Chains A and B, each alone.
Chain A
């Protein structure tokens, strides 16, 4: 049971950590100043949630690993984030597409987790759900603005959506850990979230004059099977700890 809880908490933490890191890559590169600040802020929210989840995961595991140990001293195969969040930023449209699909799902997960029997997960979710509401709205507004904008912005938004869409089935697939956590009243019923997600995503896509893609990519990020992108990202994120093990500020 503790193994499942560790695994489950790690997934939540890694989703936040990896997407937060991806969003931070935009710092200094966003198309406009307001978006530079926005993407940095979105990343910061996720990083904050990642810290809470990973600290708790370390505690559940009981081997004395801290949030930093978990973030900086694991190799790619030990990460449990869904594959969607490790996908490269692409252009701004693709980043917004990824964020739309993720935030649309993650806010539903957090809503369920506020009712979790695990009081720590419930507390982090209670805090996070209010923050992610801003993420969802931000991504949805940009999706509409770009999708329903110029020919070029429409083309790019549609193409960004195609790039990342295939990774969404993984978000709703229940495995042994998910099922055990659901039975224990700790985790969310991911499969049951699909209709609500479909409805909110479709509403945005219609408004944005975008087509709903149907591509499916086999992805098992939450079981530790990752695309090559994650390794490259970690090599940068973990560089300091790899080059100078145990180094502190």
Chain B
């Protein structure tokens, strides 16, 4: 019973430390809210993370940042990458979505993968500045693999939107 309680406490401590590590490309969003931490296993001595995109240049930096942060907190855990199941934007937490919005990045529509057919318009994205749904996609590709470029037709503000994956 005691052991079980300790186990839970330690587990929670690891998650608290992880919540302090941010994606370097989105320095306000924690790896936990981004949904890339798949598992914390104290018995296995391992934290498993999953990359957002195969070619995400931030993936290795994130792994190192997590390992360093855990070491600073005196936790000796390995960081391993796990490919399957593949990360999806559905794993971004509610808090993560709010954080993105607060920083001017439109979060991906909840629980949906962008499966719009070839010639149809992509799903509407609300402008993070004025909330208008009257927006258009300028480019499906942006400054990082995970974002697209949009423009608001109501307030004219250009903005980034997290791509559905």
Which residues of A approach B to under 8 Å, CB–CB?
20, 34-35, 37-38, 40-42, 44-49, 51-52, 119-120, 122-124, 126-128, 130-131, 134, 137-138, 140-141, 144, 204, 207
Contacts and interface: CB of A to CB of B under 8 A. Distances in A.
A127 B83 contact: yes
Nearest to B81: A52
Contacts of B113: 130
Nearest to A39: B141
Nearest to A126: B86
Given A34-B138, A38-B140, A48 B56 contact: yes
A38 B145 CA distance: 9
Interface of B: 51, 53-57, 83-88, 113, 118-119, 138-143, 145, 149, 163, 165
Contacts of B142: 37, 41
8 contacts: A34-B138, A41-B141, A124-B54, A126-B86, A128-B54, A130-B88, A137-B140, A204-B118
Contacts of B88: 130
Contact of A138 (B54, B86, B140, B149): B140
B54 A131 contact: yes
Contacts of A20: 55
A44 to B, nearest CB: 4
A123 B84 contact: yes
B139 A34 contact: yes
Contacts of B139: 34-35, 37-38
A152 B86 CA distance: 42
Contacts of B51: 48, 127
Nearest to B55: A48
Contact of A126 (B55, B83, B119, B149): B83
B140 A45 contact: no
B54 A126 contact: no
Nearest to A203: B118
B113 to A, nearest CB: 7
Contacts of A120: 83
Contacts of A48: 51, 53-56
A44 B83 contact: no
A90 B84 CA distance: 37
A131 B53 contact: yes
Contacts of B54: 45, 48-49, 51-52, 124, 127-128, 131
A103 to B, nearest CB: 12
Contacts of B85: 126
A47 B85 CA distance: 20
A42 B141 CA distance: 9
B57 A44 contact: yes
Contacts of B84: 119, 122-123, 126-127
Nearest to A129: B86
Nearest to A41: B141
Nearest to A34: B139
Given A35-B139, A137-B140, 8 more contacts: A34-B149, A38-B139, A38-B140, A38-B141, A47-B55, A127-B54, A130-B165, A134-B140
A37 B141 contact: yes
A207 B88 CA distance: 32
